[in-house]
């Protein structure tokens, strides 16, 4: 072996431990940062619960039980769903979980199916859903969305919100008085757009999505608790419990437009559920900051 080769061997033997130490140190620092962030999230969620537990223990027990029910009712990937629900973006749903659990009980014997078919609803409900979806003036609505839109990736044009008509949008077909339909809007996803996994917050209604306009390719779809619905293959209509974890995608080069409808859950006390939705709609309109938590631009 020549002198230069010996020098290189010697240099490598000297440098390698330093490089190895640096390589080990960097992941270690990142792991500590991640652990610190995770700890802060846990403390932020647990601290209010502990305070409630000290002031009134039965209420804390109710929230723990209802939170666990929200996770377990998914029936799959419970560890991942628990992480998302308790530590990422399920806070508002958890805050309302006692009320949502009560709604599940009041709706019996109509069991929450999580994913619904049109035939799961009484005929009067079906008639209203068909009236809105099948008679939708799609071209006019899409043209209006284009007229109003800005640079946002996702927009929502609202016609009726929790029982209240939006004076800033006009469509006589959508803003008439309905007995069961409480919210009507149009959600628009621009190309190569998706939401994060998230939970709706109120279980008094069932979410109805209806694709309008040309159906994009298979990249445009929604996944609800592991069930995938593709607009071009599975049809324009999809209905589900909005408080179950879900995520929407438009990984195509086309826009995707869907009617966004909330219809009362089937129950023997529709007046009670309708009153609750109207109350929540009233609160929402009086507290605009509630809408700030959404990544949608409302138009």
User: Is 220 part of a structural domain of the chain?
Assistant: yes
* Residue 124 covered by a domain: yes
Confidence at residue 16, expressed as pLDDT on a 0 to 100 scale: 54
Rounded distance, CA 188 to CA 199, Å? 19
| Residue 149 main-chain phi, psi, to 5 deg | -70, 160
Domain annotation covers residue 170: yes
Contact 280, 162 (CB under 8 A): yes
d(CA 298, CA 187): 9
Residue 17 covered by a domain: no
Amino acid 204: pLDDT? 94
How far apart, in Å, are the Cα atoms of 22 and each of 12, 16, 276?
Answer: 15, 10, 59
Q: Which residue range(s) make up the domain with 270?
A: 111-298
How many other C-beta atoms can be found within 10 angstroms of the C-beta atom of residue 74? 17
Residue 59 lies in a domain: no
Task: Count up the domains in the chain and report the number.
Answer: 1
Backbone phi, psi, residue 61, to 5°:
-65, -40
pLDDT at residue number 166: 85
Peptide bond into 109 cis (omega under 30): yes
213 occurs within a structural domain:
yes
Q: How far apart are the C-alpha atoms of 277 and 161, rounded to whole Å?
A: 10
How confident is the prediction along the chain (299 residues), in pLDDT tens digits per residue? 444 443 343 444 444 554 445 555 566 777 777 777 767 777 777 788 888 888 999 999 999 999 999 999 999 999 999 999 999 999 999 999 999 999 999 999 999 999 999 999 999 999 999 999 988 888 888 888 888 776 556 778 899 989 888 888 888 889 899 999 999 999 999 999 999 999 999 999 999 999 998 888 999 999 999 999 999 999 999 999 999 999 999 999 999 999 999 999 999 999 999 999 999 888 877 766 555 545 555 55
Backbone angles phi, psi at 240, to 5 degrees: -160, 165
Asked if residue 53 is part of any domain, the answer here is no
Predicted pLDDT at 69 = 97
Q: What is the pTM of this model?
A: 0.83
101 occurs within a structural domain: no
CATH number of the domain that 119 lies in? 2.60.120.330
Task: Write down the pLDDT at residue 262.
Answer: 96
- pLDDT of the residue at 238: 98
């Amino acid at each position: 072996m020549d002198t230069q080769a010996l020098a290189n061997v010697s240099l490598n033997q000297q440098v390698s431990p330093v490089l190895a130490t640096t390589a080990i140190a960097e992941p270690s620092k990142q792991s500590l940062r991640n652990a610190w962030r995770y700890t802060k999230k846990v403390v932020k969620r647990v601290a209010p619960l502990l305070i409630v537990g000290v002031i009134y223990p039965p209420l804390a027990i109710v929230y723990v039980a209802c939170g666990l029910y929200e996770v377990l009712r998914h029936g799959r990937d419970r560890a991942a769903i628990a992480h998302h629900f308790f530590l990422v973006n399920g806070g508002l749903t958890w805050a309302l979980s006692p009320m949502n659990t009560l709604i599940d009980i009041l709706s019996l014997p109509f069991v929450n199916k999580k994913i619904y078919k049109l035939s799961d609803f009484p005929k009067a409900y079906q008639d209203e859903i068909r009236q809105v979806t099948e008679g939708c003036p799609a071209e006019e609505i899409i043209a209006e969305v284009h007229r109003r839109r800005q640079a946002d990736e996702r927009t929502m044009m609202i016609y009726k919100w929790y029982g209240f008509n939006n004076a800033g949008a006009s469509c006589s077909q959508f803003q008439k008085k309905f007995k069961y339909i409480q919210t009507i809007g149009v959600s628009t996803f621009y190309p190569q757009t998706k939401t994060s996994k998230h939970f709706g917050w109120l279980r008094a209604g069932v979410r109805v999505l209806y694709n309008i306009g040309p159906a994009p390719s298979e990249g445009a779809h929604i996944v609800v608790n592991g069930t995938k619905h593709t607009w071009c293959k599975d049809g324009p209509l999809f209905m589900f419990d909005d408080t179950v974890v879900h995520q929407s995608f438009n990984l195509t080069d086309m826009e995707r437009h869907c009617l966004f409808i909330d219809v009362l859950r089937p129950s023997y006390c529709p007046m009670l559920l309708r009153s609750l939705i109207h109350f929540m709609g009233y609160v929402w309109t009086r507290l605009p900051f509630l809408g700030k938590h959404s990544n949608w631009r409302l138009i």
